[in-house]
Structure 1
Amino acid sequence: MFIYLNGLFVGLLILSNIISVKLFSIGEFILPAAAIVYVLTYLITDVIGEVYGKEAAMKTVRAGFITQVIALFFVFAAIHLPEAAVFGMQAEFEAILGGSFRVMFASLLAYIVSQHIDVSVFHQLKRKHGNKKLWLRNNLSTASSQLIDTGIFIVVAFVGTVPTNVLISMVVTQYVFKFIVAIVDTPFTYLFVAIARKEKNIQPYAPDVKVG
């Protein structure tokens, strides 16, 4: 289960970087397409932290960072490979993945800050409440880290490409969207934690408390 969770985590990260270049609207609200997948990565690290411990969650975060750096390198390389004569979409390819390059950089910066905050807040609350109140640490850690993530990501990824009022609207809208998703996905956090514990036949993770 741990391997599957890590695979899903990394896959969602790469996918969110690629699709973030598209903006979509819900009524008057504008969001990057990554909003529909990236928010799920916080659920995954919370599940990993709850079942396997803080160090396992931090290793997942570090693995995600390394994977994104590697992906960024290969995207850059692919853009600059000499195109074949039969390939008539170099401009479109560069426009999409070139935008993705900037989005990936913004994502890396937001990611490394917010994911560490998410894991740290989650386990501070876990040390305080033990194995109780999973819903509280899941929602509070996600809400605080997503606020930082959203601000950094939207500003770095889209400043200069959209009007300032649209930029502000995107930050507010995306954070509200993520906050709602964080609340809605709470039952799934409990479900995945239960599945992981059952499959691995382990006891609930004991918080990091020094004895003696």
Structure 2
Amino acid sequence: MFIYLNALFVGLLLLSNILAVKLFQIGEFILPGAAIVYVVTYLLTDVIGEVYGKNTARKTVQAGFITQLLAVFFIFIVVHLPAAPAFGLQSEFEQILGGSFRVIAASLLSYIASQHLDVSIFHRLRASHGEKKLWIRNNVSTMTSQLIDTSLFITIAFWGIVPLRVLLGMIVTQYIFKLIIAIIDTPFAYLLVKWARKLEAK
């Protein structure tokens, strides 16, 4: 089961980097497409940590970081390869996958800081609760780490580009949206943990 959870984590992580280019709006919320995908990675590290332990969860986070670095490296190479005459979408391709160094750096730094914090908080609470109160450690660890992730990413990516009022508004709206997703995914944490333990017991 672990290999599937790990693969899902890395896959969603890479997918969120691609979907971040698309902005969508719900009411007053304007968010990147990654917002609905990336928050699920915190659910997966919580499930992995709950079933397989803190060290395994940390290794999953590290694997995600290395995979992102490799993805950036290969995307950079492919973007800068000379386009074939028949390929008329080079500029669009660069816009979607190229990204800026600042945004990429913001993504990597916020990822490594917040994901490690998520694992640390989750297992500190687990040391106190044992296997009980999964919903508390799942929500508290995700809500705290998402605040760090959102604040770091938006500050690094957009500081000096947008007014401070707009920057703070971006942080607040994205964080609220991520909180809602984190609360909604709590039942899935219980289901995935139960399923993983059942499969590992066979």
Distance 2:93 2:160 in 1: 21
Correspondence for 2:62: 62
Q: How does 1:126-137 map to 2 (within 5 A)?
A: 126-137=126-137
Contact 1:21 1:103 in 2 (8 A): no
Quote the offset at 1:155 in angstroms. Answer: 2.4
Correspondence for 1:2: 2
* SS of residue in 2 equivalent to 1:17: helix
Q: Which amino acid aligns with 1:69?
A: L
Give structure 1 stretches of 5+ with no counterpart: 203-212
The Cα offsets for residues 153-202 of structure 1, whole Å up to 9 and x where unpaired, read as: 12233445555443322211111111111111111100000000000008
TM-score (norm 2): 0.94
Q: How does 1:115-154 map to 2 (within 5 A)?
A: 115-154=115-154
Distance 1:94 1:160 in 2: 24
Q: How does 1:56-205 map to 2 (within 5 A)?
A: 56-99=56-99, 102-159=102-159, 162-201=162-201
Q: Which amino acid aligns with 2:176?
A: V
The reply on whether 1:33 has 2:33 as its aligned counterpart is: yes
Contact 2:36 2:181 in 1 (8 A): no
* SS of residue in 2 equivalent to 1:30: strand
Percent pairwise identity: 69
Size of the aligned set, in residue pairs, is: 202
Change (3 A) 1:166 1:25: farther
* SS of residue in 2 equivalent to 1:99: coil
Correspondence for 1:50: 50
TM-score (norm 1): 0.90
**What is the Cα-based RMSD across aligned positions, in Å?**
1.6
